[in-house]
Amino acid sequence: MSTIANSIFSPELAARFDKLVTLYPVKRSALVPMLLYAQDEVGYVSEAVIQEVAQRLDLFDLDVRSVLSYYSMLRTKPAGKYNVQVCTNISCMLRGGYEILDHCKKKLGIENKQTTPDGQFSLEEVECIGDCCSAPAMQVNYEFHDELTPDKVDEILDQYAAGKILDSTQKDGK
């Protein structure tokens, strides 16, 4: 049961948040995980999310915005169903990360931080995603793909388009 009346989140997530705030010495420590979970469910951090999260943690909306704007993995606009994040940080850059990024742009017909008109894909250039030893790498939602070549990228994106690869979060049935 949620402690917040008329929560915008699903009953499961609301219950999870109720528990989350009890896990830390100070409530506001739950802010970043809460925003991430909320983003997974809502698709992005909306005004409504900001307000409810602030309310749950006894913060001002301004505090939430402050943290939200700091982290690049938190977004305030909806992304595509598959959010393609291509790393161009040093290891990936040396192993052709920019080629991969350019290839994605061409293949999807969108620029960095844009979404395809059908809402299927969005593209983002990101900093290190921790897969340097198998660079170049990209992340689609929560799924890693590494040792990429343009051909391999085509294959991967086609499979997503065909609905053949399920996101790990979807696999869990969440």
Partner 1 sequence: MADVTITVDGKKITAPAGSLLIEVCKSAGIEIPAFCYYPGLSLQAACRMCVVRQEKVPKLQTACTTQIAEGQVFFTDTPEVIQARKATLQMLLGNHPLDCPVCDAGGECELQDMTFKYGAADSFYAEPKNHREEQKWSPVVYFDRPRCILCYRCVRTCSEGMDVFALAVENRGSSSTIVPNVPAKLTPDNLAHLDCEQCGMCIDVCPVGALTSGTYRYKTRPWEMNHVATVCTHCGDGCKTTLGVRSTADGSEIVRGDNRDKSGINSDFLCNKGRYAFDFANSSERITQPLVRQPNGELKAVSWEEALTCVGKKFAELRDTRGGKTIGVIGGNRLTNEEAYLLQKFARSVLHTNNIDHHRTADYVAFAQSLAGTTGRAASLRETLTAPAVLLVGGDPTNQSPATAWNLRSNVRLNGARLYIANTAEIKLRRQASAFLQVAEYGYGALAAFLAGDDSAANIAAPDSAALASFRDAIRSEESLLVLIGNDLRGAELKRLIDFGLTIPGTKFALLADYANSRGAADMGLLPDMLPGYTPIGPIDTQDPSSRIALEYRSPTTPGLDLLEIFEAAETGNLSAFYVVGSNPIARYAVDPATLKNTFVVVQEMFLTETAAIADVVLPAANLYEKSGSVTNSYGDLQQVKKAGDRAGVRSDFETIVRIADKMGADVRKLVPFGPVSNAGGTRADMGQTRGAQSGEADRHAVWLTANNLEPRLSPFDPSAILDEIQRLVPGYEILRLQLLSGNDQHLSPAAAPIRDNAGLVQISNRRDLVLPAGDTLFTSGSLGRYSAILNDLRQFRPRQSLIQIDVQTASD
- Which residues sit at the interface with partner 1, rule CB under 8 A? 26-28, 47, 57-63, 65-66, 69-70, 72
Identity of the residue, 70 or 118, whose beta carbon is nearer to partner 1 in the bound complex: 70
Identity of the residue, 72 or 168, whose beta carbon is nearer to partner 1 in the bound complex: 72
Q: Cβ of residue 49: shortest distance to partner 1, in angstroms? A: 14
Identity of the residue, 18 or 167, whose beta carbon is nearer to partner 1 in the bound complex: 18
User: What tokens appear for 137 in the block?
Assistant: 């790498």
User: What tokens appear for 72 in the block?
Assistant: 């690049």
Q: Cβ of residue 63: shortest distance to partner 1, in angstroms? A: 7
Nearest alpha-carbon partner for 54 in 44, 43, 67: 67
At position 1, the amino acid (one-letter code) is: M
Nearest alpha-carbon partner for 130 in 142, 121, 120, 119: 142
Q: Cβ of residue 60: shortest distance to partner 1, in angstroms? A: 5
Q: In DSSP terms, which residues pair with 96 in a beta bridge?
A: none
CA-based diameter of the chain, in Å? 51
Distance CA 170, CA 39 (A): 14
Q: Cβ of residue 68: shortest distance to partner 1, in angstroms? A: 8
Count of all residues that appear for the chain in the document: 174
Identity of the residue, 57 or 138, whose beta carbon is nearer to partner 1 in the bound complex: 57
